[in-house]
Amino acid sequence: MLSLLTGLLLSSSGAQALPEDTTWYLIPNSSFDTDDGLGFGFRGELQHTDPQLAPYRDAWVLQGFSTFRGYHNYLLRYERLGLGTQGNGRITAMAAYRAWTNDQYYGLGGDLPLVPDYLGDFDAEDLRRKRYRYTLIQPHIRLTWLSDIPGPLRIFASSGLRYSEVRTYQDSLLEEQQPFGMDGGWNLQLQGGLQLDTRDREIDPRRGLLLEISGRYNPPIPGGAGVFGGPASSLRGYLPLGERGVLAGRLMGEALFGEIPFYELNQWGGAVQTVGFGGYMSLRGIRYGRYRAPGKAMLNTELRIDALRHNLGGKPFVWQLVPFVDLGTVFLDGSEFPPLHTALGVGVRPIYDAAFVGRMDLGFGRDFVETDAGVEVRWTPGFYLTYEHLF
Low-confidence residues in the chain, pLDDT < 70 = 1-19
Kindly report the pTM of this predicted structure.
0.86
Looking at residue 17, what is its pLDDT? 53
C-alpha 205 chain-centroid distance:
18
Question: Cα–Cα distances in Å, from 119 out to 42, 116, 143?
Answer: 32, 5, 41
Q: Residue 121's pLDDT is what?
A: 82
pLDDT of residue 16: 45
pLDDT at 387: 83
pLDDT for the residue numbered 150: 78
How many residues are listed for the chain in this entry? 391
Q: What is the pLDDT of residue 373?
A: 87
Q: What is the pLDDT of residues 78-111, one digit of tens each?
A: 999 999 888 889 999 999 999 999 899 999 999 9
DSSP β-ladder status, 22-33 and 89-104: unpaired
CA angle 364, 367, 368 (to 5 degrees): 160
The angle at the Cα of 271, spanning 268 to 277, to the nearest 5 degrees, equals: 20
Q: What is the largest CA-CA distance in the chain?
A: 68
pLDDT at position 47, please?
Answer: 92
